[in-house]
Amino acid sequence: MAVRSRRDATALLSLALAVGLASPAFAPATSALAAESPMPVISRGVPAYTNDSCGGASAAGLANDDSYDTQWRACNQPSSGAPTYLAYDLSGVPAASRGQVLVAWYNDPTTRPYDHNYANEVGYDIPSTYALEGNAAPGGTLPSSGWVSLATVTGNIYHSRQHSIDLTGYDWFRMRITASDGSSGNVGVYLNLDVHDASAGRQDSWIFYGDSITRDAMAHNSLSSSGGTGTWAQHINASNPAYYPAYEDGGIGGIVSGDGSRNINTWLGMFPGGHVAISYGTNDATKSVSATTFYNNYAVMVQAVLAAGKVPVIPKIPWGCTAAIQANAPALNQKIDALYAAYPAIVPGPDLWSYLQANQNLVSGDCVHPTDQGYIGMRQQWANAMLIRVYGTTPPPLKLAALKSSTSGASAVVSWLTNNVADSRVDYGTTNAYGSFATSASLVNSHSLTLTGLAGGTTYHYQVTSVDAYAQTAASGDSTFTIGSANFSLQLSAAADRSASSALQGQTVAGTIYVFTSPASGVTRVRFWLDNPQMSGTPRQTEGAAPWDFAGTATNGTANPTNTTTIANGSHTITAAVDKSAGGTDVLSSTFTVGNP
């Protein structure tokens, strides 16, 4: 059940004219597609057959199992004289569910770009020339004759396609491939293939056009090695089992909104479904495309989608930390808001700017692309938004319970429960303004985050927040925990013999200083980091014997100096991991200020 309806053609045309971008040739059509209806997969796990399984290494059943991480592969190059086929016995599917169907095959992410030629990349084992066929023979034994062609394609270069065909009267389906598009050593066929019941309409068929961020976020893989649990469609199905959308990942790395506007009509001509997501902007911001040009490019695409009788879906541009994205993307996102106002038929996608801005640890070191966990989070954000805005899913209100904290040494564990699976965030600091946070994008009911590098003898304020699969947010009130006084401390002295020392925490220093941990006994090793409270990478200094000096110990037993003029003026933190003789490690962290003239 859709929760946004299409406007009539006259109203849409009036809106387009109002923004000055419609021409007399633009005449949006009312949709010939049915209202939003489930389009379940009917081919999952049915008997599958092929004449090429790479010598038994890649069975036909890998094309229609419930994992998109595995694909059926045919190793031989298909030809008209030696075609390759993949056949499904659908005789066990009720006849009413295998009349009008939608066939969707996916070669991605084996081939990453939707159009590898446009991306100047090679393709891998893509079906190029093929026929989709039916056969009325009874199920059980693969028929050798009687196949009827229902759709044909020649010269395909795309890594995925969807086709609407009528299988009424047929017990069998077959994809017969006579040419492939690939590269050296990759000229066979590699794919997953689903058949959906489209008897109630093919509106629940999607394509996501965009750049490399879309390409990697919406790929047909689970990202399980980073904690992912499935594709975007599998996320939808897990939250609302009535639905299992067919979708293509139309992402192509490096392209901008202008590429989308120039190619949209060609792409739409091959897509039989109902929802078209448009997700450009990161490269526009990087290349300083003007906000006006960006808006006009998007308007061209929106108009084309509406004219084709389909529903445009537009998210916000993802947050990134490069100077160009920070400077230019906010203005482009304002133009997306303007598009929402000018074209009410647009379904707003997720606000990826706000999501990644709030979870900056999910952005990789290039300050542009998300990490794999970030892509998992983006995929879930897409599912969250569409479950509510398209599928009409009414979620139970998100609630928090059993909030508690515990401390050990210089760390604390904060835990809580939610009634719906949700992500996890703890904001914490020495006041209720917080200032630090820890997050996990995994969707769970039982939440636990560990906070490290905390100062001894200090009371910390904290607040927890969770966002569930329906984009609902629940937050706790302010709570506190106290880190007990540490057995060890970071000390500061003006003398190499460490005399007249005092706690480093809160000190303002200049010139030469001597920093060490105290007491010296009961310790086997101390590792020191400067301005690295996460203690990642190689320590700045590792001491294997007492005394335990931040800059190392001289041969005469005195402390080596730290010249603060080599450190920028301002606030800094020294963190020390103290390995104790009795076992365990205490983490010390002290903040100080350098104030050289």
Q: 291-307 and 257-268 helices cross at what angle (nearest 10)?
A: 10
Output the average pLDDT for the chain.
91
pTM of the model as a whole: 0.70
Tell me how far apart the alpha carbons of residues 84 and 86 are, in angstroms, rounded to a whole number.
7
Tell me how far apart the alpha carbons of residues 497 and 85 are, in angstroms, rounded to a whole number.
81
Q: Which band of pLDDT confidence, cut at 50, 70 and 90, is reported for residue 4?
A: very low
Percent of the residues in the chain that have a pLDDT greater than 70, as a whole number: 94
Lowest-confidence segment of 140-149, 203-212, 262-271, 411-420 by average pLDDT: 411-420
**C-beta neighbour count of 467 within 10 angstroms:** 26
Is the confidence at residue 404, as pLDDT, over 70? yes
Beta bridge partners of 276: 207, 312
CATH top-level class of 34-203:
mainly beta
Helix (H) or strand (E) holding 328: helix 323-342
Q: Which band of pLDDT confidence, cut at 50, 70 and 90, is reported for residue 585?
A: confident
What's the confidence (pLDDT) of residue 460? Answer: 94
CATH top-level class of 400-483:
mainly beta
Is the confidence at residue 24, as pLDDT, over 80? no
Judged by phi (left if over 0) then psi (alpha if -120 to 50, else beta), residue 544 lies in: alpha
Q: What is the mean pLDDT of residues 435-439?
A: 93
Q: What is the mean pLDDT of residues 386-393?
A: 89
Q: Which band of pLDDT confidence, cut at 50, 70 and 90, is reported for residue 263?
A: very high
Token readout for 102 is: 């939608």
**C-beta neighbour count of 545 within 10 angstroms:** 11
* Helix, strand, or coil (residue 305): helix
Contact criterion met (CB below 8 Å) for 554 and 514:
no
What's the confidence (pLDDT) of residue 405? Answer: 92
Is the confidence at residue 551, as pLDDT, over 80? yes
């990134």: which residue's tokens?
A: 320
Q: What is the mean pLDDT of residues 170-183?
A: 97
Q: Which band of pLDDT confidence, cut at 50, 70 and 90, is reported for residue 485?
A: low
Is the confidence at residue 29, as pLDDT, over 80? no
Phi then psi dihedrals of residue 479, to 5 deg: -130, 170
Is the confidence at residue 20, as pLDDT, over 60? no
Q: 372-389 and 232-239 helices cross at what angle (nearest 10)?
A: 50
Is the confidence at residue 453, as pLDDT, over 90? no
Tens digit of each residue's pLDDT (9 = 90 or more) over 150-168: 999 999 999 999 999 999 9
Q: DSSP strand E in 344-455: where? A: 347-348, 400-408, 411-429, 436-451
Contact criterion met (CB below 8 Å) for 232 and 247:
yes
Q: Which CATH superfamily is domain 1-30+206-394 in?
A: SGNH hydrolase (3.40.50.1110)
What's the confidence (pLDDT) of residue 60? Answer: 98
CB contact set of 586 (below 8 Å; sequence gap of 6+): 409, 410, 486, 487, 488, 577, 578, 580
Q: What is the mean pLDDT of residues 354-364?
A: 90
106 secondary structure, DSSP code? E
Tens digit of each residue's pLDDT (9 = 90 or more) over 305-326: 999 999 999 999 999 999 999 9
Torsion of CA 109, 115, 121, 122, to 10 degrees: 70
Token readout for 426 is: 């703890």
What's the confidence (pLDDT) of residue 486? Answer: 62
Residues of the chain with CATH 3.40.50.1110: 1-30+206-394
What's the confidence (pLDDT) of residue 98? Answer: 97
Straight-line distance from the first to the last Cα atom of the chain, in angstroms, rounded to the nearest whole number: 68
Is the confidence at residue 8, as pLDDT, over 50? no
């990202």: which residue's tokens?
A: 223
Report angle CA 413, 416, 419 to the nearest 5 degrees: 160
What's the confidence (pLDDT) of residue 5? Answer: 33
* Helix, strand, or coil (residue 187): coil
What's the confidence (pLDDT) of residue 533? Answer: 86
What's the confidence (pLDDT) of residue 19? Answer: 30
Tens digit of each residue's pLDDT (9 = 90 or more) over 91-115: 999 999 999 999 999 999 999 999 9
The string of DSSP letters for 237-295 reads HHH-TT---EEEEEE-TT--HHHHHHHHHHHHTT--SSEEEEE--HHHHHTT--HHHHH
What CATH number should be reported for the domain whose range is 489-594?
A: 2.60.40.10
Is the confidence at residue 340, as pLDDT, over 60? yes
Helix (H) or strand (E) holding 142: none
């005195």: which residue's tokens?
A: 558
Q: Which of 111, 108, 129 is nearest to 121 (CA)?
A: 111
Tens digit of each residue's pLDDT (9 = 90 or more) over 181-212: 999 999 999 999 999 999 999 999 999 999 99
Tens digit of each residue's pLDDT (9 = 90 or more) over 212-254: 999 999 999 999 999 899 999 999 999 899 999 999 999 999 9
Tens digit of each residue's pLDDT (9 = 90 or more) over 466-484: 998 777 899 999 999 988 7
Is the confidence at residue 441, as pLDDT, over 60? yes
Tell me how far apart the alpha carbons of residues 12 and 337 are, in angstroms, rounded to a whole number.
17
Residues of the chain with CATH 2.60.40.10: 400-483, 489-594
Judged by phi (left if over 0) then psi (alpha if -120 to 50, else beta), residue 427 lies in: beta
Torsion of CA 135, 139, 140, 145, to 10 degrees: -20
Q: Which band of pLDDT confidence, cut at 50, 70 and 90, is reported for residue 71?
A: very high
**C-beta neighbour count of 258 within 10 angstroms:** 18
Alpha helix (H) ranges present in 372-523?
Answer: 372-389
Is the confidence at residue 536, as pLDDT, over 90? no
Report angle CA 402, 405, 408 to the nearest 5 degrees: 150
CB contact set of 537 (below 8 Å; sequence gap of 6+): none
What's the confidence (pLDDT) of residue 470? Answer: 78
Tens digit of each residue's pLDDT (9 = 90 or more) over 113-158: 999 999 999 999 999 999 999 999 999 999 999 999 999 999 999 9
């938004």: which residue's tokens?
A: 385
Percent of the residues in the chain that have a pLDDT greater than 90, as a whole number: 81
Asked whether the CA dihedral 119, 121, 124, 127 is positive or negative, the reply is positive
Phi then psi dihedrals of residue 217, to 5 deg: -75, -35
Residues of the chain with CATH 2.60.120.260: 34-203
